[in-house]
Structure 1
Amino acid sequence: MARSGQHFLQIPGPSPVPERVRQAMDRQVIDHRGPEFGLLGREVLAGCRSIFKTSRPVVIYPSSGTGAWEAAIVNTLSPGDRVLMVETGQFATLWRQMAGRLGLEVEFIPGDWRRGAPPDAIEARLAEDRTHAIKAVMVVHNETSTGALSSVPAIRRAIDAVGHPALFMVDTISSLGSAEYRHDEWQVDVTIACSQKGLMLPPGLGFNAMSDKALAASRTNRMPRSYWDWAEMLKPNASGFFPYTPATTLLYGLREAIAILHEEGLDAVFARHHRLAAATRAAVRVWGLEVLCLEEAEYSPVLTAILMPSGHDADNLRKVVLETCDMSLGAGLGKLAGTVFRIGHLGACNSLVLAAALSGVEMGFSRAGVPHREGGVAAALAVLEGRGGGEVQTQAGRGRAA
């Protein structure tokens, strides 16, 4: 059925692709062994380092974020190694399942899916590990299923406080390019990311950034790999090339996306995301609903997960909003299915787009018979206009001190 206007994609990724990025990808494929491609490859790889905030290598795979998860594991760990992970939500759970399938022994710190990874619990467990049997600590920075952001600097301090040598791996699949992140400064050993969220690209690229410590581990670990081998990637990457056919058109788009992020300025990008998130939470409070994340310091700038009133189905609301407003909202995942819906406010999202999205949610409540108070959109507008109190400044400034 034909619809007027545009579809609103307000899920927490894939995020809408900006017109500049789409146009950058609308090019003929070139010889991936020729000099023009070598220049593209060098520009893109250098640009990636600027986004990860690292001087060390970043590798790019034609893959999803799931592939980047696997690359991080198989390049650093060996079958039978023990790793420490935290149950922050659906994606931490899936990463745990992958680790188990690859032959790792996983200790999974339990969680309630409403908070980020607890640095104190990580520190306590590492303090008990006097033989250093735990080879890696693996956490999700922004848990896409719950809207809870873990403090990477605090977890790094927890590891250092007990002098534990474990590798530190962080999934930034839904946070890179939308939330402050500093691979080198925060002493992360492997950072995992993908293309279709804060980087504003279609799905299809996975990333690993690695420390010298991780590279040293990759030279001695015993996990089989071929496609994912960092060594095979890094050799041709030095000249801007890849060991197999790369996703050329996505690399054109990535170069443009990196340029867009730097034109706005990364600090401004992160402040915009915090402002949009604060406006969304202001709407939720006025509606009389509850944000899933319980800790204010852990509120995600990328998405907001909202609990439905008892007896009301989140998937029915999403269906009504899609059919009547042509807008897609994020579903509740795993054990949150049907009880939560998620509003994505990441990537190229701006104040006007968010205001329209929140209007669609408020209309959807009425049409789906969901009990709520009116005025959520007005409360969000007050925040977007700078009339909504001090939460935005507090949230936007907490990344480095967290």
Structure 2
Amino acid sequence: MLSNGRPYLAIPGPSVMPERVLNAMHRAAPNIYTGELLDMTATILPDLRAVARTDHHVAIYIANGHGAWEAALSNVVAPGDTVLVLATGRFGHGWAEMAEGLGVSVQTHDFGQRDAFDLAKVEQTLAADKGGRIKAILAVFVDTSTGIKNDIKGLRDVMDATGHGALLMADCIASLGCDRFEMDAWGVDVTIAASQKGLMTPPGLGFVWFNDKAAAARAQMPRVSRYWDWAPRVNPDGYWQHFDGTAPTHHLFGLRAALDMIKEEGLENVWHRHAVLARAVWAACDVWGQGGPLELNVADPARRSHAVTSVMIGAPDGDRLRAWLEQVAGVTLGIGLGREPADAYFRIGHMGHVNAHMVLGVLASMDAGLKALGIAHGQGAVAAATQVIAEASGATTAPGDHSVDHHSG
């Protein structure tokens, strides 16, 4: 079969694990009481703050993203408190369900699955909340199910304009290390992420960054679960309190390697790489859609994530294409998560450890799959994607001239 060889996972998390990360984890267990593990953890914390662009606190949990949701909520809202959830996909609703499970009253604005927050509607809601009933706003920056990227800075501006004192909580699980995010500059009080996407480390670590306003809210809580309490994690009396028990040793070694890779490339360059590769994916999809049913879920490029692209193609062709790619080409695309009918959709993950040849390989394989399955599509999609890459590289070739002029892009 043509799929024999190394498979490629193009789902929106877990993302491709770099060999450097896997090699860092492939080692004997360390001493968890003294020595290199403790010294290394001390270097991880400031680098996690740098990736989120904050000077404030960060707590590490042995948990997935859902655990980070619960950790963040447990520290700042109590049963009976009210939160406002802004949903643009499955994961906004998932965070709302987590809050409800903690006894929190949830008010949800559902903006559908194809467009970003309507900030005018949010402003109306906050202006009407004269008594400050809403304690926190839960906003997913990029919803993995839809690929929608929301305006977090604009949301903070609306909160400031209305004088509302709620905490602004941002889910960056799908986007951290992929889409530009500025926690402090954008006025975010609590940020949530996990290890398995832009941070290029296997699933198992959840992160919560919080500022002094959020810390003050924690101090007013009547009680917080011992495990989720972030206070001892960021001000531990002993190393074990960073994790409320045994450290996630090998995940930490992998995370250290991943953070080194981000530092060496430079976070601005990481963001740029993701932006270019996303535009290549969109260019191919636009061409395919000119001659068939394929359509990008988000019409406005400014509202599309640079980490994941959600695509509509019609039932059952979403599943047909995914199955062909996995069985014949060795490429796995993401399912139509949270969509109905699910087999009308698929998602392309282009996050973390990805480069031009990886993304172009996915797109060429998709092009072959559309042809093999007889799914109507426009011609020239791969050429459109390669043009995006060529232009971004800063290389130009005059007609009839095969020399290359290199200049800064």
Is the shorter-chain TM-score for this pair beyond 0.5, marking a shared fold?
Answer: yes
Q: Does 1:378 align with 2:383?
A: yes
Distance 2:213 2:15 in 1: 33
Distance 1:246 1:388 in 2: 42
Residue deviations 1:217-242 (CA, integer Å, cap 9, x gap): 11112354121111231232886962
Distance 1:155 1:286 in 2: 33
Q: Secondary structure at the match of 1:158?
A: helix
Q: Secondary structure at the match of 2:146?
A: coil
Residue deviations 1:68-112 (CA, integer Å, cap 9, x gap): 000000000010111111120011111111111111111111222
Residue deviations 1:276-299 (CA, integer Å, cap 9, x gap): 111111101110121101222201
Structure 1 contact 315–341 (Cα < 8 Å) conserved: yes
Listed as ranges, the gaps of 5+ residues in structure 2 are 395-409
Q: Which residue in the other structure is 1:193 paired with?
A: 193
Alignment of 1:3-402 (within 5 A): 4-222=4-222, 224-236=224-236, 242=242, 243-288=244-289, 289-309=294-314, 311-336=315-340, 337-386=342-391
Listed as ranges, the gaps of 5+ residues in structure 1 are 390-402
TM-score by length of 1: 0.93
Q: Secondary structure at the match of 1:108?
A: strand
Q: Secondary structure at the match of 2:334?
A: strand
Work out which of the two has the higher radius of gyration on C-alpha atoms and give 1 or 2: 2
| Change over 3 Å in CA distance of 1:302–1:334 after alignment to 2 | same
Which portions of structure 1, spanning 4 or more consecutive aligned residues, are displaced by more than 4 angstroms? Answer: 237-241
Residue deviations 1:346-389 (CA, integer Å, cap 9, x gap): 10110110010001111111222321122111110011111799
Structure 1 contact 38–241 (Cα < 8 Å) conserved: no
Distance 1:48 1:239 in 2: 18
Distance 1:343 1:238 in 2: 43
Residue identity opposite 1:146 in structure 2: T
* Alpha-carbon RMSD: 1.8
Residue identity opposite 1:80 in structure 2: G
Q: Secondary structure at the match of 1:260?
A: helix
| Change over 3 Å in CA distance of 1:364–1:2 after alignment to 2 | closer
Residue identity opposite 2:248 in structure 1: A
| Change over 3 Å in CA distance of 1:284–1:137 after alignment to 2 | same
Task: Identify the range of structure 1 (155-164 vs 229-238) with the bigger mean alpha-carbon deviation.
Answer: 229-238
Pairwise CA distance, 1:195: 0.2
Q: Secondary structure at the match of 2:287?
A: helix
Distance 2:241 2:178 in 1: 28
Structure 2 contact 136–168 (Cα < 8 Å) conserved: yes
Task: Identify the range of structure 1 (172-181 vs 1-10) with the bigger mean alpha-carbon deviation.
Answer: 1-10
Distance 1:199 1:129 in 2: 37
Percent identity of equivalent pairs: 40
TM-score by length of 2: 0.91
Q: Secondary structure at the match of 1:306?
A: strand
Distance 2:247 2:239 in 1: 14
| Change over 3 Å in CA distance of 1:239–1:56 after alignment to 2 | farther
Structure 1 contact 179–270 (Cα < 8 Å) conserved: yes
Distance 1:344 1:368 in 2: 22
